Amino acid sequence: MPEVLAQLTDVQVHFPVHSGLLLPREVARVRAVDGVSLAIGKGEVLGLVGESGSGKSTLGRALLRLQDVTAGRVHFAGADITHWHRRQLQAVRRRMTVVFQDPEASCNPRMRIGDAVAEPLRVHERLTAAELQHKVLALLEQVGLDASYALRWPHELSGGQRQRVGIARALATDPELVVLDEPISALDVSIQAQVLNLLEDLRRQRGLSYLFIGHDLGAVAHLCDRVAVLYLGRVVEAGSVADVIAAPQHPYTQALLRSVPLHDPVAARARGLQVLDGEIPSPLHPPPGCAFHPRCRRALPACQQNRPELLAFGTRQLACPVATQDAQLPIAS
Amino acid sequence: MTAALEVSALAVAFAGDRGPIVAVEDVSLRVAKGRTLCVVGESGSGKSVSILATMGLLDPQRAVVTAQTLRLGDVDLLTLPATQRRALNGDRLAMVFQDPMTSLNPYLRIGQQLTEVLEVHRQLSRQAATAQAVAMLEAVGISAPQARMRAYPHELSGGMRQRVVLAMALLCQPDVLLADEPTTALDVTIQAQVLKLIQDLQARNGMAVVLVTHDMGVVAHMADEVAVLYGGLVVERAAVRDLFTAPRHPYTRALLASIPAAEHRGQRLQAIAGSPPSPVARPAGCVFAPRCAFAVPQCQAARPPEEALADGRTVRCFRHAELADA
Ligand SMILES: Nc1ncnc2c1ncn2[C@@H]1O[C@H](COP(=O)(O)OP(=O)(O)O)[C@@H](O)[C@H]1O
Ligand SMILES: Nc1ncnc2c1ncn2[C@@H]1O[C@H](COP(=O)(O)OP(=O)(O)O)[C@@H](O)[C@H]1O
Ligand code: SF4
Ligand SMILES: [Mg+2]
Ligand SMILES: [Mg+2]
């Protein structure tokens, strides 16, 4: 693995639920992220997959320190930034940025495209007007929008073009890490490929690291180096794309991948739709033991009591004793 | 074989500030009993408007709808008086939207919404309607259906709501189910559940299904036939295997080639440059010409006509024959 750029260690993000008007007290907690450790290397793309509600966005926000953690540590570029204040964080904000799913979110309707891209530069850098303009036009060009777009308004752009603006904004301050939170989910299929190519080019040119949050497993397989699979706030399996996507071991990863439609009608007919029954439970009341056991076809009685630990097997990490035994995986030295 | 639903030469224009907006220019759809037609296309290609026009749900004050044929089995919808036509909706012709809340009233219990359908269309007693509603909830895989009858929509997950909407649509055993992106907002796991449910229900009651989607994987699993929409036109229509193994229209080819897959890891994706046309600025010639890798001057000059090929498909491209072996 390359040198670590960003790292979460045993991170929990719990949202307290309060009750009582006069003397509100905590009555429950949403365990959105419940003990996650992961690292992103320099120039590496880590994919984060799992059903909605599994905690992907919260985890991304915790990594960027846009969300305080309940427990655990957040490191960026060698520094422990877990408890940094606003002013201290200001210095790292420019080095780690985010692109959201909804292209609208990154475009203020009352700001011209050029001003939207200039905004982070105005906050973080002291540039002359000429320097600023030069940089904005260069950024737009990098994401495939010519100079004429600088004077246009967001409503004049298509969804794919607005997402390019979101990417230009995220790149404005020359970050090292970009969290991409479902950046192509809202786009048309023919535009998704354009944006994926753009992200891949930018990564190569700039040596960027990405945390790519996505539910399109085809896109994840295409763009990512490694993948972590999240279920109810915990990583159940992680490893290289070759390990996790091509040869999944955790029953949840297997079921998730089997739910993805095939793109070949003959194979699709032959295999049929493979259904994982049930729904992801609420993180307010996670099931005891392995959180996946109520939906798991391979669950043993012990799975209802013992919470599986994430263990390393070679380059793969896996949190399922049943899968481990069945696959007879060698424990990493 | 007579089609369960047949639509031909459908066109829809909305009144706009600067003249009419032609949302749908020429769309023909046909689906037989027990079969599934998938309608695919990018956003803005006219999928929803085509479905809404077929259901007769567009506001006649704002939309001008014309068609050569609009038949539900042996019923001619074009000449049917409006009240009779409306009575078919929810009865012989049912619809499911992407957002289940389009069909559900947030302030009414699920049970009341389901039984009302039966009371209106089938004049059933409250008791008989309740029994059928509970049975239908069970059929769409909702556990403890008796208890769920008392739930409000907000108490259910997105996947559960879509199941309830399916139950509601199927209560009267429609001949045709029109489903407009019913799984687009759902996780892949829940999508697979809902699609499987549609397949199972169809196998049981033999209804025809028109499924709108933008996901070629969904098409591969669900479709017998496929209509590919682009810029308000059906640019290609074919049996599902023919479409995937030998797409004839350059847009269909490009769309299939652009899908990321693990096999192509490390290679550049074959993206389609540009973006789809808006209905107020459609090119004069072929609607795909500005993005087409095969366009020749003729393509900018005129709309290619819809041609029927020997294998039963239709294509709208001047160059489809010479490109067939390319
Ligand atoms: N600010 C918040 N307050 C309370 N609960 C939250 C908050 N943010 C997220 N959650 C809950 O945490 C869980 C994880 O959410 P999220 O990180 O958005 O998941 P994902 O991105 O995987 O869909 C969900 O159950 C969500 O409802
Ligand atoms: N009520 C309306 N008034 C004006 N234009 C409309 C209206 N409804 C849809 N359109 C336009 O018609 C075109 C087709 O829309 P639609 O059928 O919803 O596309 P799709 O479902 O394929 O995404 C779009 O360009 C849309 O903006
Ligand atoms: S008619 Fe011309 S522009 Fe249109 S799809 Fe065919 S080759 Fe391309
Ligand atoms: Mg999210
Ligand atoms: Mg639509």
Residues A184 and A91 in one domain: yes
Chain B hits for A265, CB-CB cut-off 8 Å, are 219-221, 223, 240-241, 244
Work out the mean pLDDT of chain B and round it to a whole number: 93
CATH code of A12's domain: 3.40.50.300
The alpha carbon of A149 and the centre of ligand 3 are apart by a number of angstroms equal to 28
Contact indicator for B169, B196 with CB cutoff of 8 Å: no
Residues A115 and A139 in one domain: yes
Chain A hits for B189, CB-CB cut-off 8 Å, are 51, 255-256, 259, 275-276, 279
Provide mean pLDDT across the span A101-120.
85
The residue from A150, A174, A198 where one domain ends is: A174
Position B5 scores a pLDDT of 98
Question: How does pLDDT run across A286-296, given as a tens digit for each residue?
Answer: 999 999 999 99
Q: Whose CA is nearest to atom 5 of ligand 2?
A: B14
Position B326 scores a pLDDT of 65
Looking at the 3D structure of chain A, how many domains does it have?
A: 2
Quote the ipTM score. 0.91
Q: Is A57 in the pocket of ligand 1 (CB under 6 A)?
A: yes
Residues A210 and A185 in one domain: yes
Q: What are B's interface residues with A at a Cβ cutoff of 8 A?
A: 42-43, 157, 159-160, 187-193, 195-196, 199, 214-221, 223, 240-241, 244, 254-256, 258-262, 264-265, 268-273, 275-276
Choose between B182 and A144: higher pLDDT: B182
pLDDT bin (cut points 50, 70, 90) of residue A311 is very high
Position A157 scores a pLDDT of 86
Relative to the alpha carbon of B324, which ligand is closest? 3
| Domain-located, residue A288 | yes
Q: What's the predicted TM-score (pTM) here?
A: 0.93
- Which amino acid does the sequence have at A266? V
The alpha carbon of A55 and the centre of ligand 1 are apart by a number of angstroms equal to 6
Ligand 3 atom closest to the Cα of residue B292 is 8
Residues A209 and A116 in one domain: no
Residues A155 and A186 in one domain: no
Provide mean pLDDT across the span A138-150.
89
The alpha carbon of B233 and the centre of ligand 5 are apart by a number of angstroms equal to 14
Round to whole Å and give the CA distance between A253 and A258: 9
Position A289 scores a pLDDT of 96
Rounded to the nearest angstrom, the minimum Cα separation between B282 and chain A is 15
Position A132 scores a pLDDT of 95
| Domain-located, residue A100 | no
Round to whole Å and give the CA distance between A34 and A310: 13
Residues A193 and A275 in one domain: yes
Rounded to the nearest angstrom, the minimum Cα separation between A129 and chain B is 31
Q: Is B233 in the pocket of ligand 2 (CB under 6 A)?
A: no
Q: Residue A158's closest chain B neighbor by CA?
A: B275
Give strand ranges (E) for A175-240.
177-181, 209-213, 226-231, 234-240
Phi, psi of B242, deg, nearest 5 = -60, -40
Relative to the alpha carbon of B45, which ligand is closest? 2
Candidates B228, B253, B294: which one to mutate for ligand 3, based on the most atoms within 8 Å of Cβ? B294
Q: Above pLDDT 90, what percent of chain B?
A: 82
pLDDT bin (cut points 50, 70, 90) of residue A1 is low
H-type alpha helices, A13-158 = 56-63, 86-93, 113-124, 129-142
Q: Which two tokens stand for residue A185?
A: 């989910």
Q: Is B45 in the pocket of ligand 2 (CB under 6 A)?
A: yes
Q: Whose CA is nearest to atom 1 of ligand 3?
A: B317
Angle subtended by helix axes A189-206 and A159-171, to nearest 10: 20
Position A191 scores a pLDDT of 83
| Domain-located, residue A122 | yes
Provide mean pLDDT across the span A115-129.
91
Residues A60 and A207 in one domain: yes
Q: Residue B242's closest chain A neighbor by CA?
A: A265
Residues A88 and A201 in one domain: yes
Question: How does pLDDT run across A207-262, given as a tens digit for each residue?
Answer: 999 999 998 888 999 999 999 999 999 999 999 999 999 999 999 999 999 999 99
Residues A132 and A31 in one domain: no
Chains A, B: CB contacts within 8 A come to 137
Chain B hits for A190, CB-CB cut-off 8 Å, are 42, 254-255, 258, 271-272, 275-276
The alpha carbon of B108 and the centre of ligand 4 are apart by a number of angstroms equal to 30
pLDDT bin (cut points 50, 70, 90) of residue B1 is low
Q: Whose CA is nearest to atom 8 of ligand 1?
A: A58
Ligand 1 atom closest to the Cα of residue A61 is 17
Position A24 scores a pLDDT of 84
Question: How does pLDDT run across B48-103, given as a tens digit for each residue?
Answer: 999 999 999 999 999 999 999 999 999 999 999 989 999 999 899 999 999 999 99
Residues A124 and A224 in one domain: no
Candidate from A246, A269, A273 with C-beta closest to B192: A273
The residue from A174, A199, A218 where one domain ends is: A174
Q: Do A265 and B244 touch (CB under 8 A)?
A: yes
* A103: pLDDT strictly greater than 80: no
Round to whole Å and give the CA distance between B305 and B286: 9
Position B200 scores a pLDDT of 93
Q: Is A54 in the pocket of ligand 1 (CB under 6 A)?
A: yes
Q: Which domain holds residue A285?
A: 4-17+27-95+175-327
Residues A227 and A163 in one domain: no
| Domain-located, residue A332 | no
Relative to the alpha carbon of B98, which ligand is closest? 5
Choose between A109 and B76: higher pLDDT: B76
pLDDT bin (cut points 50, 70, 90) of residue A106 is low
The alpha carbon of A60 and the centre of ligand 1 are apart by a number of angstroms equal to 11
Q: Is A180 helix (H, G, I), strand (E, B) or coil?
A: strand
Q: Is B279 in the pocket of ligand 2 (CB under 6 A)?
A: yes
Least confident of A95-104, B157-166, B292-301: A95-104
The alpha carbon of A57 and the centre of ligand 1 are apart by a number of angstroms equal to 7
User: CB-based contacts of B168: which residues, under 8 Å, 6+ apart?
Assistant: B103, B104, B113, B114, B117
| Domain-located, residue A333 | no
Ligand 5 (ion): residues with CB under 5 Å are B 47-48
Q: Residue A276's closest chain B neighbor by CA?
A: B189
pLDDT bin (cut points 50, 70, 90) of residue A325 is confident
* A333: pLDDT strictly greater than 60: no
The residue from A174, A193, A209 where one domain ends is: A174
* B204: pLDDT strictly greater than 80: yes
Question: How does pLDDT run across B21-56, given as a tens digit for each residue?
Answer: 999 999 999 999 999 999 999 888 999 999 999 999
- Name residue, tokens 């001008």: B64
Relative to the alpha carbon of B44, which ligand is closest? 2
Q: Residue B196's closest chain A neighbor by CA?
A: A273
| Domain-located, residue A228 | yes
* A332: pLDDT strictly greater than 90: no
Question: How does pLDDT run across B237-296, given as a tens digit for each residue?
Answer: 999 999 999 999 999 999 999 988 766 777 888 889 888 888 888 899 999 999 999 999
Contact indicator for A190, B254 with CB cutoff of 8 Å: yes
Position A186 scores a pLDDT of 81
Q: Count of alpha carbons within 13 Å of A32, Cβ hemisphere only?
A: 20
Q: Do A276 and B192 touch (CB under 8 A)?
A: yes
| Domain-located, residue A22 | no
Round to whole Å and give the CA distance between A160 and A186: 9
The alpha carbon of B271 and the centre of ligand 4 are apart by a number of angstroms equal to 26
* A285: pLDDT strictly greater than 70: yes
Round to whole Å and give the CA distance between B72 and A69: 58
Residues A198 and A126 in one domain: no
Phi, psi of B24, deg, nearest 5 = -130, 125
